[in-house]
């Protein structure tokens, strides 16, 4: 949902994913805060048909580069 985050927040998320989506950088570089504030309202355990972003392992899996 591109419109939920600012351009800078989207850039931060993309850069973090491109750099390997490391867990130690998840909190330090702010992806965790962005995802909690902008994404988890819809992407949570109760959501049907969309990924759950409440667990790092789910986010890490989706951040893999192909």
Q: What is the pLDDT of residues 10-49, one digit of tens each?
A: 999 999 999 999 999 999 889 999 999 999 999 999 999 9
Burial of 58 (0-12, 13-18, 19+ CB in 10 A): middle
Q: Can you give the pTM of this predicted structure? A: 0.86
Residue ranges per structural domain of the chain: 2-62
- CA–CA separation, 40 and 45 (whole Å): 9
């Amino acid at each position: 949902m591109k419109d939920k985050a600012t351009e800078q927040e989207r850039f931060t998320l993309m850069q973090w994913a491109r750099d390997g989506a490391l867990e130690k950088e998840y909190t330090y570089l702010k992806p965790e805060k962005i995802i909690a504030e902008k994404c988890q309202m819809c992407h949570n355990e109760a959501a049907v048909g969309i990924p759950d972003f409440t667990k790092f392992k789910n986010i890490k899996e989706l951040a893999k580069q192909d």
